[in-house]
Amino acid sequence: MGTMMTATPMGAGVGGVNFTLPLNPSLPPPCSIDESYKYIFLPICYSFTFVFSISLNSVVLYRSFRRTKRWNASLIYMVNLASTDFMYGLSLPFLVASYIMRDRWVFGDFMCRLVRFLFYFNLYCSIFFLTCISVHRYLGICHPMKTITLETKKVVKGTCVLVWAVVFALTSPIFRFAQTGDVTRGGEGVNAGVPEAFQNCWDDAIDKEFSDYVPYGIVLHLLGFFVPFTIIAWCYSHVVLTIFRTLRAQPQPEGGREGRGRGRREMSVVLGPRSPYVHRRRKFIKTIITITLLFALCFFPFHVTRTLFLVLKETKGVPCHTMRMVSICYKITRPLASFNAWLNALLYFLTKDKSASCCPPPDPTHHGLLWPLRMLGRAGEEEEGVGEAANDKDNDSKSSGNNIFHGLP
């Protein structure tokens, strides 16, 4: 076999492909991949992400810390989510500068490792916190009476600490594999054909360590994405079934004319356009749609193409056109994955409470139908339920036989 000479770095910028030039003319021609597009596409994407992640997450954190005494479970998760997104946004100017300089890295080896680490740390923190929010929504809508103790601030804060620790343990090997290295490639312009030496920041691993990196990368994808994705899909399938099941339910008020009249009034309070139930249901639906779009745009395409890229890089005999297509798709989906740093903030603005002032408290004489909703107010994150906490015990004794809305959001 002829000697091979590296012409372009493997992992340059965003997991670039190793271009090799065979010195033995009997060997097949090399698989060349033109990556010049990334020097325009990636700086634009990362600059866009930097501006929006810093600005939107600053607003989320500022508005959240102005109301620290009124934090609930969802807001605690959102603050942690915004914190990691903001931290990742601060690292993006280094990447933008590197791509503008055509993969040259001038910020040192430590910053190379830190910037690469922050991408994956933010990515999997986002996935894990979105999973926590999804499980929180699932418990609130499917098991509201059994999980009130799981909604306390102490439990939620402990869960957030656990998420930070688990994600750090999963992504800390990035510090080991990501590093800088000297690269030589052909010159451009008037220096075409003249070798050009520069220092590059590898994303995955250098050539001689890539085989060791592949098993870790696949395990990271399984534990960091595919397992949480399965949990979220399971939770949302049950949430949707519960919502449709309750929408089809037709409660019938019992008693005479007076009883039916009171039942209609109670139903109008519960199911009216300004009722807490309808407000919570809309909020749950917005959360489901937003997180589903986040996974469809940011996380799923990146992990599928990256897994294929890692596997094909270690597989012999892969056709050149296949490797070229997977490489391009991977480089396109990577900046899309970074979009989660500002798209996560949209979850806060879409699901924040806007109707506390327009939803008057229900008539305290209507205990039977409204007791489960008050209990949900304690278990969930709605601010309109705070004023009803004092009546929970009394309502419990008067509504044991009229619990038709058990399990509603």
Q: What is the CATH classification number for the domain harbouring 166?
A: 1.20.1070.10
The 10s digit of each residue's pLDDT in 37-65 is 889 999 999 999 999 999 999 999 999 88
Question: Given this model, what pLDDT does residue 391 score?
Answer: 40
The 10s digit of each residue's pLDDT in 194-251 is 677 888 898 888 888 888 999 999 999 999 999 999 999 998 888 888 877 777 765 5
The CA distance from 409 to 139, in Å, is: 9
Q: Which of 163, 88, 160, 126 is nearest to 302 (CA)?
A: 126
Name residue, tokens 């343990």.
169
Residue 272 has pLDDT above 90, yes or no: no
The boundaries of the domain holding residue 99 are 4-249+275-359
The CA distance from 291 to 271, in Å, is: 26
Question: Given this model, what pLDDT does residue 160 score?
Answer: 94
Percent of the chain whose pLDDT exceeds 90 = 36
287: its two tokens: 């959360």
Domain membership of residue 395 (yes or no) is: no
Band of residue 254 on the pLDDT scale cut at 50, 70, 90: low
**H/E stretch holding 139:** helix 109-142
Residue 275 has pLDDT above 80, yes or no: no
Question: Given this model, what pLDDT does residue 34 score?
Answer: 72
Q: Which range, of 54-58, 277-281, 325-329, 338-342, averages the lowest pLDDT?
A: 277-281
Question: Given this model, what pLDDT does residue 61 score?
Answer: 93
Domain membership of residue 167 (yes or no) is: yes
User: In this predicted model, which residue has the larger pLDDT, 166 or 151?
Assistant: 166
Domain membership of residue 91 (yes or no) is: yes
Domain membership of residue 401 (yes or no) is: no
- Angle at which helix 320-338 crosses helix 340-351, to 10 degrees, equals 40
Q: For the chain, first and last CA: distance in Å?
A: 67
Domain membership of residue 135 (yes or no) is: yes
Question: Could you say which DSSP state residue 198 is in?
Answer: E
Residue 119 has pLDDT above 60, yes or no: yes
Domain count across the chain: 1
The CA distance from 171 to 53, in Å, is: 21
Q: What is the widest separation between alpha-carbon atoms in the chain? A: 97
Indicate the burial class of 255 (C-beta count within 10 angstroms; 0-12, 13-18, 19 or more).
exposed
The CA distance from 392 to 364, in Å, is: 11
Q: Which range, of 35-49, 314-328, 384-398, averages the lowest pLDDT?
A: 384-398
Q: What is the mean pLDDT of residues 309-329?
A: 88
φ, ψ of residue 200 to 5 degrees: the values are -120, 155
295: its two tokens: 């996974």
- Give the start-end residues of each E strand in 212-292: none
Q: What is the mean pLDDT of residues 317-342?
A: 90
Residue 306 has pLDDT above 70, yes or no: yes
Domain membership of residue 382 (yes or no) is: no
Residue 357, amino acid: S
Task: Compute and round to an integer the Cα radius of gyration of the chain.
Answer: 27
Q: Which among 68-77, 173-182, 189-198 has the top mean pLDDT?
A: 173-182
Q: What is the mean pLDDT of residues 178-199?
A: 73
Question: Given this model, what pLDDT does residue 11 score?
Answer: 42
User: In this predicted model, which residue has the larger pLDDT, 105 or 372?
Assistant: 105
Question: Given this model, what pLDDT does residue 198 score?
Answer: 84
Domain membership of residue 255 (yes or no) is: no
Q: Report pTM.
A: 0.74
The 10s digit of each residue's pLDDT in 350-381 is 776 554 443 444 444 444 444 433 443 444 44
Buried b (16+ CB within 10 A) or exposed e, 189-202: eeeeeeeeeebbbb
Which residues, listed in sequence order, are joined to residue 22 by a DSSP beta bridge?
A: 4
The pLDDT mean for the chain works out to 74
The CA distance from 356 to 106, in Å, is: 52
Q: What is the mean pLDDT of residues 151-169?
A: 90
Going by their DSSP bridges, the two strands 4-8 and 19-22 should be labelled as antiparallel
Residue 399 has pLDDT above 60, yes or no: no
Band of residue 302 on the pLDDT scale cut at 50, 70, 90: very high
- Angle at which helix 227-248 crosses helix 276-294, to 10 degrees, equals 150
Residue 404 has pLDDT above 80, yes or no: no
Q: Which of 71, 189, 76 is nearest to 132 (CA)?
A: 76
Question: Given this model, what pLDDT does residue 147 score?
Answer: 60
- Angle at which helix 340-351 crosses helix 276-294, to 10 degrees, equals 170
Band of residue 120 on the pLDDT scale cut at 50, 70, 90: very high
Q: What is the mean pLDDT of residues 125-153?
A: 81
HSE, side-chain direction, 13 A CA sphere, residue 390: 2
Could you give the dihedral angle defined by the CA atoms of residues 318, 320, 326 and 331, in that order, rounded to the nearest 10 degrees?
130
Band of residue 192 on the pLDDT scale cut at 50, 70, 90: low
Domain membership of residue 61 (yes or no) is: yes
Band of residue 189 on the pLDDT scale cut at 50, 70, 90: low
